[in-house]
C-alpha cells in the first residue's frame, strides 16, 4: 500500500462542517484513499455509488425526507462517482442544510459535471481535494530517492498510475486496459460529444505537441473543424483529468505572446499509449517534451498537495525566445529551463531578465531535479 500525501489532510478535514469533494482521474486510488481514512473511524458509514441506477434515482432531484431515509443512522455518507447523479450539487446542499451531523464525502473521476453542478450550490460549504497518479514525492517516501531516480525512465514511459507502479513488467497491457476501460468513459458519455473519433485524433495531435505551444486554429485546420469545437473538446479533456494547460506569461514586453498555451498530460503512460510509442528514451525524439511534461506535472502535484498557491506560466516572444516554466508567488517570479542532458548549456533570454528584474532563474537537468519537486525535503 503506497502512502498517499493527501491522507492526513483528508482525515483532518472530517467533521469540520464541510462537505468533502475528492476529484481525480479514474483508477488513481480515490476510493482506496477514502476507505483507508475511514477504516480508522468508529462512526456508522454508508457507501453509495453513482454508477448504480437506484442510487442515481434516489439522489437525483431529491428532498430532505428522502435524504434522511437514505442516510438512516449513518454518520458518514460516501458517494462515489457523484458526477453521474443529476443535480448532485443541490442534493449535497440539502444534506449540508438538513443533515449537519452527517459527514458527506463525494468523489468524482470527472469534474465537468460534478464541478458545474456543485460550485454554486456549495459555495463556502465544501472542501475540495484532487488526487493525482502516484507522485515522485510519494514514491521517494515509499522507497528512496536513489531508487526513484533509478526508475525515472520507466516513469517517463509508463507513467504513475498505482496499478502500473505495482505491476512492473505488465505496463503496456495494463495501460491498454486502463485506457479502453476508463480513460474515455466520462468524456465519451458526455451528452454533447458527437464525434468521439475526432476526440481521439485531437488527443493524438496534442500528445505530439507536448513542450510546444498549442494553437487552436492550427488544430482546427488539421482536423477539419472550427476553433470553437477544438476549445470545447480541450475543455472536456481538462475536466476529465486527461490533460491540463499552461498559459503564457505576458506583462511587460510588446513582443510577448499574449494568449499562448501549452498542453500537458496528467499521466505520461496514457500519453504514450495514445501515440502507441513505448520505445526506450535513447531512440526517441520527444525526450525533451516528456521530461518537461513530467517535471511540470510533478511540480503541480507537489504544490497542490502542500496547498501552496502560485500562478504558473511559460514564456515566449514572437522571435521564439522562450522559458519552459515560470511561477509567480506574491509578485516574485521564478523561472526554470528543463534540460534532459546536463551537458546542454543555455542562458536565459536577456529580454526576459530586463523585463522582469529580480527574477530567480534555474536550469534543471536529470541529475539535479529533486529540489524542484521536493522543496528541501530531500
pLDDT one-digit tens code per residue, 18-48: 999 999 888 899 999 999 999 989 999 999 9
Amino acid 192: pLDDT: 59
Angle, helices 227-239 vs 196-207, to 10°: value is 80
214 SS3 class: coil
Domain encompassing residue 304: 136-374
- pLDDT band at residue 153 under the 50/70/90 scheme: very high
- pLDDT band at residue 171 under the 50/70/90 scheme: very high
- pLDDT band at residue 111 under the 50/70/90 scheme: low
Using alpha carbons only, give the angle 113, 159, 183 rounded to the nearest 5 degrees. Answer: 30
Q: Same domain for 83 and 226?
A: no
Can you tell me the distance from the alpha carbon of 318 to that of 253, in angstroms, rounded to the nearest whole number?
Answer: 10
Query: Do the domain assignments include residue 34?
Result: yes
Q: Same domain for 122 and 145?
A: no
Which of 130, 148, 170 is the endpoint of a domain? 130
Q: Same domain for 317 and 192?
A: yes
Query: Do the domain assignments include residue 312?
Result: yes
Locate 164 and state its grid cell. 502500473
Can you tell me the distance from the alpha carbon of 161 to that of 166, in angstroms, rounded to the nearest whole number?
Answer: 9
Share of the chain above pLDDT 90, in %: 67
Q: Same domain for 202 and 170?
A: yes
Domain CATH number, residue 140: 1.10.10.10
Q: Same domain for 356 and 329?
A: yes
Query: Do the domain assignments include residue 295?
Result: yes
Lowest mean pLDDT among 185-189, 216-220, 327-331: 185-189
Can you tell me the distance from the alpha carbon of 6 to that of 77, in angstroms, rounded to the nearest whole number?
Answer: 19
In terms of Cα–Cα distance, which of 288, 298, 243, 268 is closest to 158? Answer: 268
In terms of Cα–Cα distance, which of 304, 260, 24, 315 is closest to 161? Answer: 24
Give the mean model confidence (pLDDT) for residues 304-317: 93
Q: Same domain for 22 and 103?
A: yes
Amino acid 339: pLDDT: 93
Query: Do the domain assignments include residue 285?
Result: yes
Q: Same domain for 72 and 195?
A: no
How many helical (H) and strand (E) elements, i.e. helices and strands, does the chain have? 19, 11
Q: Same domain for 231 and 349?
A: yes
Amino acid 296: pLDDT: 98
Give the mean model confidence (pLDDT) for residues 154-162: 97
Query: Do the domain assignments include residue 278?
Result: yes
Q: Are 131 and 22 in contact (CB under 8 A)?
A: yes
Can you tell me the distance from the alpha carbon of 110 to that of 30, in angstroms, rounded to the nearest whole number?
Answer: 12
Query: Do the domain assignments include residue 40?
Result: yes
Which alpha helices (H) appear in the chain, and where do they start and end?
6-12, 30-38, 53-59, 64-71, 88-98, 111-118, 136-142, 145-150, 152-158, 162-166, 171-178, 185-188, 196-207, 216-223, 227-239, 268-274, 287-305, 350-355, 370-374
Q: Same domain for 32 and 113?
A: yes
Amino acid 344: pLDDT: 67
Q: Is the pLDDT of residue 51 over 70?
A: yes
Lowest mean pLDDT among 149-153, 191-195, 232-236, 248-252: 191-195
Give the mean model confidence (pLDDT) for residues 53-80: 92
Q: Is the pLDDT of residue 188 over 80?
A: no
- Residue pointed to by grid coordinates 517516501: 141
- Write the CB contacts of 328 (distance below 8 Å, at least 6 apart in sequence): 249, 310, 311, 312, 313
Give the mean model confidence (pLDDT) for residues 274-298: 96
Locate 63 and state its grid cell. 428532498
Locate 324 and state its grid cell. 519552459
What Rg do the C-alpha atoms of the chain give, in angstroms?
A: 22
Which of 95, 130, 165 is the endpoint of a domain? 130
Amino acid 120: pLDDT: 66
Domain CATH number, residue 103: 3.40.50.300
Q: Same domain for 232 and 113?
A: no
- pLDDT band at residue 16 under the 50/70/90 scheme: very high
Q: Same domain for 126 and 173?
A: no
- pLDDT band at residue 117 under the 50/70/90 scheme: low
Query: Do the domain assignments include residue 1?
Result: no
Query: Do the domain assignments include residue 44?
Result: yes
261-265 and 103-108 strand pairing: unpaired
In terms of Cα–Cα distance, which of 267, 351, 275, 280 is closest to 317? Answer: 351
**Exposure string over 124-154, b if 16+ CB within 10 A, otherwise e:** ebbbbbbbbbbbbbbbbbeeeeeebeebeeb
Which of 102, 130, 158 is the endpoint of a domain? 130
- Write the CB contacts of 70 (distance below 8 Å, at least 6 apart in sequence): 46, 48, 58, 59, 62, 77
Helix (H) or strand (E) holding 256: none
Q: Ramachandran region of residue 340, left (φ > 0), alpha (ψ -120 to 50) or beta?
A: alpha
Q: Same domain for 124 and 153?
A: no
243-247 and 126-130 strand pairing: unpaired
Q: How many domains does the chain have?
A: 2
- pLDDT band at residue 378 under the 50/70/90 scheme: very low
Give the mean model confidence (pLDDT) for residues 215-241: 91
Amino acid at each position: 500500500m503506497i502512502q498517499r500525501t493527501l491522507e492526513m489532510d483528508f482525515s483532518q478535514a472530517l467533521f469540520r462542517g464541510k462537505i468533502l469533494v475528492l476529484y481525480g482521474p479514474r483508477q488513481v486510488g480515490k476510493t482506496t484513499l477514502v476507505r483507508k481514512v475511514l477504516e480508522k473511524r468508529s462512526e456508522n458509514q454508508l457507501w453509495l455509488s453513482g454508477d448504480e441506477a437506484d442510487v442515481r434515482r434516489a439522489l437525483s432531484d431529491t428532498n430532505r425526507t428522502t435524504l434522511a431515509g437514505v442516510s438512516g443512522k449513518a454518520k458518514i455518507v460516501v458517494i462515489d462517482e457523484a458526477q453521474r447523479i443529476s443535480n448532485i450539487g443541490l442534493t449535497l446542499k440539502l444534506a449540508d442544510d438538513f443533515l449537519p451531523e452527517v459527514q458527506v464525502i463525494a468523489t468524482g473521476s470527472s469534474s465537468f459535471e460534478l464541478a458545474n453542478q456543485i460550485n454554486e450550490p456549495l459555495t463556502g460549504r465544501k472542501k475540495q481535494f484532487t488526487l493525482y497518479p502516484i507522485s515522485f514525492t510519494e514514491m521517494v517516501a515509499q522507497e528512496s530517492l536513489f531508487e526513484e531516480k533509478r526508475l525515472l525512465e520507466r516513469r517517463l514511459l509508463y507513467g504513475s498510475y498505482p496499478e502500473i507502479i505495482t505491476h512492473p513488467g505488465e505496463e503496456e497491457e495494463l495501460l491498454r486496459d486502463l485506457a479502453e476501460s476508463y480513460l474515455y468513459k466520462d468524456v465519451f458519455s458526455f451528452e454533447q460529444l458527437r464525434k468521439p473519433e475526432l476526440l481521439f485524433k485531437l488527443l493524438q495531435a496534442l500528445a505530439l505537441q507536448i513542450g510546444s505551444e498549442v494553437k487552436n486554429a492550427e488544430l482546427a485546420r488539421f482536423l477539419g473543424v472550427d476553433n470553437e469545437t477544438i476549445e470545447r473538446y480541450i475543455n472536456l479533456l481538462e475536466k476529465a483529468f486527461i490533460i491540463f494547460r499552461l498559459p503564457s506569461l505576458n506583462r511587460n514586453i510588446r513582443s510577448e505572446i499574449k494568449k499562448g498555451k501549452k498542453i500537458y498530460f496528467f499521466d505520461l503512460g496514457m500519453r504514450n499509449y495514445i501515440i502507441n510509442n513505448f520505445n526506450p528514451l535513447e531512440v526517441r525524439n520527444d525526450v525533451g517534451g516528456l521530461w518537461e511534461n513530467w517535471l511540470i506535472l510533478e511540480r503541480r502535484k507537489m504544490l497542490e498537495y502542500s496547498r501552496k498557491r502560485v500562478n504558473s506560466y511559460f514564456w515566449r516572444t514572437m522571435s521564439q525566445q522562450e522559458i519552459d516554466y515560470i511561477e509567480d508567488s506574491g509578485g516574485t517570479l521564478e523561472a526554470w529551463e528543463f534540460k534532459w542532458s546536463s551537458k546542454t548549456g543555455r542562458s536565459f533570454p536577456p529580454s526576459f531578465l530586463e523585463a522582469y528584474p529580480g527574477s530567480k532563474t534555474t536550469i534543471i537537468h536529470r541529475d539535479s531535479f529533486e529540489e524542484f519537486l521536493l522543496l528541501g525535503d530531500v
